[in-house]
Structure 1
Amino acid sequence: MRPVLGAVLLAGVLAYLAIAGVIWRHAAAALARPPQQPADAALILGNRAYLRGKPNPCLTGRVDAGIALAGAGRVKQLVLSGGVDKEDGRIEAEVMESHARAQGYGGPLLLEPASTSTRLNLSMSTPVLKAAGVRSVIVVSEPYHLWRVERLVRASGFDKDFDVQYAAASTSCWRRFGMVFKGALREPLAVVNNAFNGYLH
């Protein structure tokens, strides 16, 4: 029994490491390939709203990346997607909106304030985008998140409704070893969970 259990655990660890390797290679490639074409909107995906009593830099850094796209003329507006943070009760989209305005962004903003997962970010943002006449989107998230995002985009048919590009937000969370390590631990589990639920095709 023990040898079998050991073999199963080893296989699980190897699979986990293989997934992590794919995610991190893709993250490096995404950072090296910023969006090349202008788009109607940047869709900024939510994250935990607050961390240690302050707006989470993993979230605000994504907003900063969207603002940079707007400042460079790459997008015409920002769409902020994220619902109630179960850890502190704040609405992620509203925290992002406050940060964008505090940073001096004066352009148009649309909010999707109800989604609670990446899959729901996409599905619940779709009617918001369509109502605004958006046809092309740059999806903004942290580098380690984008491999899963791309597969959810295809699985959900989001890319049939919009011309989609991706922007890797090099946030302070990404650059700090501790948060990189946290992302490395969490993201492969999220990939496996999505696959078991049939969301990754």
Structure 2
Amino acid sequence: MIQKAEFVVSNNNPSNCPKPDRAEVAFIGRSNVGKSSLINMLTGKKELAKTSQKPGKTQLINHFKIDDRWYLVDLPGYGFAKVNVKVKEGWENMITTYLTKRENLCGVFVLIDSRLEPQKIDLDFLLWCGTNGVPAAIVFTKADKQSKSKTHQNIQKFLKKMNEIFEEIPDYLITSSETGQGKDDLEEFILDLVKEYESREVI
């Protein structure tokens, strides 16, 4: 159970991120996938990450310190944000640099809207992660927004597409920020990554 969550810093340059002295996990997803709401649900702090109805609100790398032990990072969303091409390229370079160079990053959670059919942009991003050795897991969001059978159906379609790309499908979780579904599983998953990172650091 997360006891303490505090904002540390926002920046647009990965080299200005906090010193990589503890485990770090990052959340990323298409604009308006419910990333901020999920982070707030996970930490139990309603205002920790800024939520917005307007896609593309998160434009910086946002670091939060959790229980004085590990960092949770809120990354800019990809796709659909109404910004000019130059700004978009800057974001993409920033995210690419962060994901491939951040040495204490032990997990990236790619958020997928469970209400939608498989989207090429999400599949492409997961393929990019796999190709670049970025340790990704999938978090299906907004599971409360439709029937369980519809959620299951969409997730199975997505996993089928993943099967065509990957030899082994990444781990996945099903969540709802509204009902708290998946919170315990997600927290447990993250803590396992943190413990694994810490055990490597000791050696």
TM-score range relative to shorter protein: 0.3 to 0.5
| Structure of higher RCO (CA pairs closer than 8 Å, 6+ residues apart) | 1
Task: Identify, as 1 or 2, the structure richer in helix.
Answer: 1
Compute the TM-score of the two structures, normalised by the length of structure 1.
0.39
Structure ID, larger Rg: 1
TM-score computed with the length of structure 2 as normaliser:
0.39
